[in-house]
Amino acid sequence: MMIKKLALAGALSLIAGTATADCAFENETEVRILSAAFEAWNAVTEAMAECGNVSAELDQEFRTKQPSAFAANPSLYHVGGVSNGTITPLMNEGTIRPLDDLVAEYGQHLSSNQLIRINGEILAVAMMVNTQHLMYRADILEDLGIPVPTTWEEVLAAAEVIREAGVVDYPLGATMRAGWNIAQDFNNMFLGFGGTFVNEDSTPNVNTEAGVRALEMMMRMTEYMDPEYLVSDSTYVQQQFQQGRIAMANLWASRAAAMNIEEESQVVGLVATAAAPTAMPGGSPATTLWWDGIVIAANISNEEAENAFRVAMEGLDEEMVRANNDDAIWLVPGYQPSPLAEGAIATATAEPAPLSYPSTSQMGLMHTALGNELPAYFTGDVTAEDALAAAEAAYITAAQEAGLLD
């Protein structure tokens, strides 16, 4: 099966002393990598390690460590794994280097889609996209004669039918754990209702009609969910699916493959994916697009950077993708979309298309503020307007401290 025993405990270093034939060249200089810890990074760093002298650190604390580790001189790592959420501090602090020269020399095989350009400069090379989209139990929807929902209203209608049929514990699941997760779910819905998070002068703009409608829609969803939704993160929702306890959820594409792991899933082959539902008819899917990719540190010598980039390219080659095809929605040439990737592709190619998660300081502050303040609405302590006003207040305090607002 596609599950491979994860070879890494929270973090693990692969110090491959011997270069194997799988790598185009034998790496002589040490290359250190710090990235997030999930299956796709595992695959990429293992492929890099084939070149020898690579030590990869897949760390759940990478978000905390990466900015300061790259700011050190010399930088503690050569290569960083980032996403559009986590590249912001590195970009702001200027601790990653432009890659145009290196791409021209060693990266001809990269598709232009993979090159993350900021003001024309290539700052990162993307390897995969990720998005939250609709995953549903195809068997249940078929049995009950429900068409695949395309809007959230339809999702709620379908949930009502499923609840009445009583085939699962809870019709809906959602990644609404307090903090980052619930804020992300709100972001999706808020963008789906056409909201914008901040004005041009950095003042907040979430306590609006779109914000209230997004929260109300989420509240209506919770009626069909496990009442413990404020502690449910992606893994929890994934397990609910695997144990056949929920029928639909707006879940990360990177989680889809887990539905078909025979050792742990009781619903193998029964889960299908579709584009994320829209919040308003004719709107864009209520979700955001994410990418994951690599960056190279600025505070290292040019030779080290060149070497690190070559090693990274070995990790992002076709061979790696062929061996790990289902671990992610790869952007690397050679990727064969599996049936489970349909939802992600439909989401990304929808018209109008959902936005990429914005890599801005304001968004980072807003995300944190929302994650801290919104749960009060769901515990019933405050109204939607009050929760959004509290989030705006928290954002303003943080923005003042960060120098974004006066």
Partner 1 sequence: MSDRPRAMRQPVSLRLGSAAFLAFWCLIASFPIFWIAVMSFKAPVDAFAANPLDVILGPATRAAGQGLSILDIAAGLAVLYLTVRFAMRWLPGRVAAWSPGGQVWAGWIIGGLAYGVAFVVVFLGVLPVVLGALNPVLGPLGKPVLGLTTVHYHSVWVENEFYRNFLNSLLVTTGVVIVSLTVGTLAGYGLARSGSNLAFWLLIVALVFRALPHSVLVAGYLPVFINSAEWLRPILGDNAPTLYGQPMAVIAVLVSINQPFTIWMLRSFFQNIPAELDEAARVDGCTHFQAFRWVIMPVMWPGVITTGLFSFLLAYNDFLVTSLLLDATNQTMVPAIAGYFNRETTTTDQVEAVAAAVSITAPLFLLVMIFQRQIVSGLTAGAVKG
Partner 2 sequence: MHFRTFAGFVGPSVFLMLLFIAAPLVGVFLGSFQITQPVVEQVEVETCTPGFLTQTCTTELVTRPILDENGNITTTTEWVGLTSYIRVLEPGRAWDAVRDLDYNALMQIDFWAALRFTLMFTLVTLPLVIGFGLAIALAVNNVARSIKGPVIFVSLLPFIITPVVGALSIRWLFIGDGILTSALEMWLDRDLALFAQAWTIELMMLFYRVWHVAPFAFVIFYAGLQTVNRDTLESAIIDGASRWDRLRYVIIPHLMPLIVFVALIHLMDSYRVFEEIVGFSSQAHVISLQWLTYDFLQPDDAGNRAYSRASASAMLTMVGIVILLIPLLRRTWRDHKGAPH
Contact positions with partner 2 (CB under 8 A) in 123-182:
126, 129, 177-179, 182
Using CB under 8 A, count the residues that bind partner 2: 77
Query: Taking CB under 8 A as the rule, does residue 112 contact partner 2?
Result: yes
Interacting positions 41-80 with partner 1 (CB under 8 A): 55-61, 64-65, 68-69, 71-74, 76
Q: Which is nearer to partner 1, 15 or 219 (CB)?
A: 15
Three-class DSSP category at 393:
helix
Token pair belonging to 150: 């395309």
Interacting positions 290-329 with partner 2 (CB under 8 A): 291, 298-299, 329
Measured distance CA(216)–CA(359) in Å, rounded = 27
Interacting positions 34-93 with partner 2 (CB under 8 A): 63-64, 67, 71, 84-86, 88-93
Alpha helices in 3-61 (DSSP H): 39-49
Token pair belonging to 372: 């801290």
- Which of partner 2, partner 1, none sits in contact with 10, Cβ below 5 to 8 A by type? partner 1
Other C-beta atoms within 10 Å of 53: how many?
18
Q: Which is nearer to partner 1, 61 or 381 (CB)?
A: 61
Alpha helices in 179-329 (DSSP H): 180-192, 209-222, 234-242, 302-315, 318-323
Interacting positions 200-239 with partner 2 (CB under 8 A): 200, 202, 226-231, 236
Q: Which is nearer to partner 1, 219 or 261 (CB)?
A: 261
- What is the per-residue DSSP string for 96-142? B---HHHHHHH-TTS-GGGEEEETTEEEEEEEEEEEEEEEEEHHHHH
Q: Answer whether 136's CB lies under 8 Å from 248's CB.
A: yes
Kind and range of the H or E element at 63?
helix 62-71
- CA distances 384 to 44, 63, 122, 225, 300, Å, are 43, 30, 41, 19, 49
Q: Which is nearer to partner 1, 243 or 360 (CB)?
A: 243
Alpha helices in 247-374 (DSSP H): 302-315, 318-323, 342-348, 361-373
Q: Which is nearer to partner 1, 26 or 61 (CB)?
A: 61
Tell me which of 358, 388, 391, 392 binds partner 2, using CB under 8 A: 358
Query: Taking CB under 8 A as the rule, does residue 5 contact partner 1?
Result: yes
* Rounded least distance, CB 180 to partner 1, Å: 12
Q: Answer whether 52's CB lies under 8 Å from 267's CB.
A: no
Q: Which is nearer to partner 1, 292 or 317 (CB)?
A: 292
The torsion region of residue 118 among left (phi > 0), alpha (psi -120 to 50) and beta comes to beta
Using CB under 8 A, count the residues that bind partner 1: 44
- Which of partner 1, partner 2, none sits in contact with 150, Cβ below 5 to 8 A by type? none
* Rounded least distance, CB 225 to partner 2, Å: 10
Interacting positions 241-270 with partner 1 (CB under 8 A): 242-243, 252, 254-255, 258, 261, 263-264, 266
Of the candidates 332, 344, 255, the one whose C-alpha atom is nearest the C-alpha of residue 293 is 332
Token pair belonging to 22: 């799988």
Query: Taking CB under 8 A as the rule, does residue 360 contact partner 2?
Result: yes
Q: Which stretch binds partner 2 (CB under 8 A): 261-269, 301-309, 313-321, 393-401?
A: 393-401
* Rounded least distance, CB 17 to partner 1, Å: 14
Query: Taking CB under 8 A as the rule, does residue 239 contact partner 1?
Result: yes
What's the DSSP call for residue 402? T
Q: What are the residues binding partner 1 (CB under 8 A)?
A: 3, 5-13, 36-39, 55-61, 64-65, 68-69, 71-74, 76, 234-235, 238-239, 242-243, 252, 254-255, 258, 261, 263-264, 266
